[in-house]
Amino acid sequence: MTAKISIVGAGMTGSTTAHWLAEREIADLVLVDIVEGMPQGKALDLLEALPVIGRDVAVVGSNDFSATKGSEIVIITAGIPRKPGMSREDLLTTNAKIVGEATTSALKYSPDALFIILTNPLDTMAYLAMKTGKLPRERIVGQAGILDSARMRAFVALETGVSVENIACYVLGGHGDEMVPLTGRSNIAGIPLREYLPPDKLEAIVTRTRKGGGEIVSLLKTGSAYYAPAVAVAQMAEAILKDKHLIVPASAFLMGEYGLKDLFFGVPVQLGRNGMEKIVEYRLDADEMTALEKSAAAVKESITVLNSLVKI
């Protein structure tokens, strides 16, 4: 039986996620958007690309959630992206309404689906979707950490000239400028980054990683990044459908892990067919814990704003 993945929001990240997923040939795909004709057009265009790369999956676009019926995974990318000068938090009011409604509509047709949230502010939108849908935490994760870690890996590769395949980086915390790149744990072929790079170069990479999303927003001027966020979501969906038990950094609902609770936050999670199977707890040093707590405070503040806007 072919699996089905629905992507809500067929804009830049949604359609690019469909692209990366179609290449993986792991599920039939449905794109849903409010703009008439757009998801249908993009789905048809993608479908017409598949003979060239030899992939047999169905790709359908719709303005109606009924097309998503029976999805194993629902990916929510619907909402507005940042403009230059905006923080992810500036999107909260508009996107809360969109994500809340999208979650309810998707659950109506796929009551057992697992959810991957991409819409920003990410950790707060994942919290909203979980509360709105009354989902157990295993069924919902937010994408942030794979992207932030990939950005750091790319910057390390640019600095050192070493293959990205040799570079492992771990970025935890909220998906905002307070995110926490773990320099002590990140490495090049097993050599800690702190040994490989001088402190000033490493610090520059950490800063660029934290502001990585904003760097792209200010270059694009209209909209935000999509290739890297979308491939990160595709990796998560693949890990779930293939029951890989893959450990990746992602936003999960914490219930005491890392000394934090009642918020979605970027931590290492294990993904498999049942969704978020496990939260892995690193033994962090005092500086790393302090940085995580600072990041958590920013996410908590965002949840307070959310609670003042909507009743969930």
Catalytically annotated residues: 175
Determine if 120 is a binding residue for ligand NAD (CB under 6 A): yes
User: How many C-beta atoms surround the C-beta of residue 41 within 10 A?
Assistant: 15
Determine if 124 is a binding residue for ligand NAD (CB under 6 A): no
CB 208 within 8 A of CB 218: no
* Rounded-to-10 torsion of CA 57, 63, 67, 72: 70
Determine if 78 is a binding residue for ligand NAD (CB under 6 A): yes
CB of 161 vs ligand NAD, minimal distance in Å: 27
Lookup: tokens for 207: 């800063």
CB 124 within 8 A of CB 303: yes
Determine if 127 is a binding residue for ligand NAD (CB under 6 A): no
CA distance 115 to 130: 9
Positions 238 through 267 that interact with ligand NAD (CB under 6 A): none
* Near ligand NAD by CB under 6 A: residue from 6, 119, 124, 209: 119
CB of 212 vs ligand NAD, minimal distance in Å: 10
* Near ligand NAD by CB under 6 A: residue from 5, 7, 12, 114: 12
Determine if 103 is a binding residue for ligand NAD (CB under 6 A): no
Determine if 10 is a binding residue for ligand NAD (CB under 6 A): yes
From 21-29, 141-149, 153-161, 202-210, give the range in contact with ligand NAD by CB under 6 A. Answer: 141-149
DSSP 262-311: EEEEEEEEEEETTEEEEE------HHHHHHHHHHHHHHHHHHHHHHHH--
Burial class of 38 by CB neighbour count within 10 A (0 to 12, 13 to 18, 19+) = middle
* Near ligand NAD by CB under 6 A: residue from 102, 141, 152, 182: 102
> Pattern of binders to ligand NAD over 157-176, x per CB under 6 A?
------------------x-
Determine if 151 is a binding residue for ligand NAD (CB under 6 A): no
Determine if 13 is a binding residue for ligand NAD (CB under 6 A): yes
Instruction: Name which of 80 and 162 has its Cβ closer to ligand NAD.
Output: 80
CB 257 within 8 A of CB 267: yes
Question: CA-based angle 105:106:109, to the nearest 5?
Answer: 95
From 50-58, 127-135, 220-228, 278-286, give the range in contact with ligand NAD by CB under 6 A. Answer: 220-228
CB of 162 vs ligand NAD, minimal distance in Å: 25
Query: With DSSP H G I counted as helix, E B as strand and the rest as coil, what are the percentages for the chain, rounded to 5?
Result: 50, 20, 30
Minimal CA–CA distance to 291: which of 166, 185, 167, 147?
185
What's at 80, amino acid-wise? I
Positions 290 through 309 that interact with ligand NAD (CB under 6 A): none
Interacting residue ranges for ligand NAD, rule: CB under 6 A:
8-14, 32-35, 77-82, 91, 95, 98, 101-102, 118-120, 122, 143-144, 147, 175, 223-226, 229
